[in-house]
Structure 1
């Protein structure tokens, strides 16, 4: 019987592998079951209620398109997510690195200023994508 104590070698291996496995499983599901072809993905409640696209509308399909190597399609589906994904991945990798080295055991925390900048950009993006001009469609 294997016991996972906080300082054990098995616990360290599990701590290192589990976050990567979760990301791998999510990416695998998106690649195997594209959101455009399968209906088990949740629908946006904002779009369903108001027929307005929120900043996240099309994000799952955009990530799936990126996993297939289709950058143009991803930009068409959700330019904001497509452009912010490398920044989010870099931040996530930094958090993962600190997590594995036990420098930070808590949830990732973002400094206030970048959060406000992203919220402002997302708000502007939302307004622009819902204008009749269809700049981001």
Structure 2
């Protein structure tokens, strides 16, 4: 495929290649964390309830780098979706939306789930102190 034809649908070829490589690397990195023995031991432990699992997972050394990189990556992809849509590059828009969906499926459990559980508990605790 010719570069000019490709750039009619996706804004920039080199940006697209960098985004594809970054997506693959981040997904593999997150997948290895998610399937590490420590995370499996925590999520498969029948003695722990959901909140206890969340507290155990956020205490892992690699949790916060994965959380921060994942949230930044989601915002980068959302920005690319908006930029592609604004530039009327609908092929790129669909590809970046697909990247978001695939990454979200990998990133959601246990990384983001633990963050949301702890955040909800913290918010509930702050509201309870006001009353």
TM-score, with length taken from structure 2: 0.28
TM-score, with length taken from structure 1: 0.27
Between Structure 1 and Structure 2, the one with more helix by share is: 2
Query: Which structure has more RCO (C-alpha within 8 Å, separation ≥ 6)?
Result: 2
